[in-house]
Structure 1
Amino acid sequence: MEGEGAKKYYSIADYLELEAHSEQKHEFRDGIIVAMSGGTIPHNMICGNVFYALRDKKKKGCTVFNSDQRVYFDEINHYVYPDTSVVCGGIEVSGEDENAIINPVLIIEVLSDSTAAYDRGEKFRKYRSLPSFKEYILIDQEQPIVDTLFREDGKYWRMQTIVELGKKVPIYSLDIEILMEDIYSEVSGFKEPQFKLDLQ
Structure 2
Amino acid sequence: MTKEVNPKLILNKPTRKYTLEEYLRKEANSIHKHEFINGEIIKMPNARYNHNLIAMNIAIDLSYQTENSDKNYQILGSDQKVYFPSLDEGVYADALAVCEKPLFWDNDDLLLINPILVVEVLSKSTQKYDRTGKFDKYKTLESFKEYVMIRQDICYAEVWYRERPGLWHETIVTNIEGKLPLQSLGVEISMKRIYKNVSF
Structure 2 residue aligned with 1:195: none
Determine the structure 1 residue equivalent to 2:48: 40
Structure 1: which amino acid aligns with 2:41? I
Q: How far 1:155 moved relative to its partner?
A: 2.9
RMSD: 1.3
The answer as to 2:191 corresponding to 1:183 is no
1:77 alignment counterpart:
88
1:117 and 2:128 matched: yes
2:19 maps to: 11
Paired amino acid for 1:187: V
Alignment-mate amino acid for residue 115 of structure 1: T
Gap runs ≥5 in structure 2: 1-9
For residues 82-161 of structure 1, the aligned pairs below 5 Å read 82-95=93-106, 97-161=108-172
* Counterpart residue number, 1:64: 75
- Cα deviation, residue 96, structure 1: 6.7
Describe the SS at the equivalent of 1:170.
strand
Change (3 A) 1:112 1:78: same
- Bigger Cα displacement from structure 2, 29-38 vs 72-81: 29-38
Write the distance in 1 (CA, Å) between the matches of 2:43 and 2:54. 22
The number of residue pairs the alignment matches comes to 187
Unaligned runs of 5+ in 1: 191-200
Q: Percent identity?
A: 38
Moved over 6 A (4+): none
Q: TM-score, normalised by structure 2?
A: 0.90
Which entry has the higher C-alpha Rg, 1 or 2?
A: 2
How far has the Cα of 1:164 moved from its partner?
A: 1.9
Distance across 1 between alignment mates of 2:103 and 2:137: 17
- In the TM superposition, what is the alpha-carbon distance from 1:97 to its structure 2 partner? 3.2
AA paired with 2:42? V
Shift of 1:174: 0.3
SS of the equivalent of 2:106 reads coil
Partner Cα separation in structure 2 for residue 98 and residue 44 of structure 1: 24
Q: For 2:97, what is the secondary structure of its paired residue?
A: strand
1:30 aligns to 2:30 (yes or no): no
TM-score normalised per structure 1: 0.90
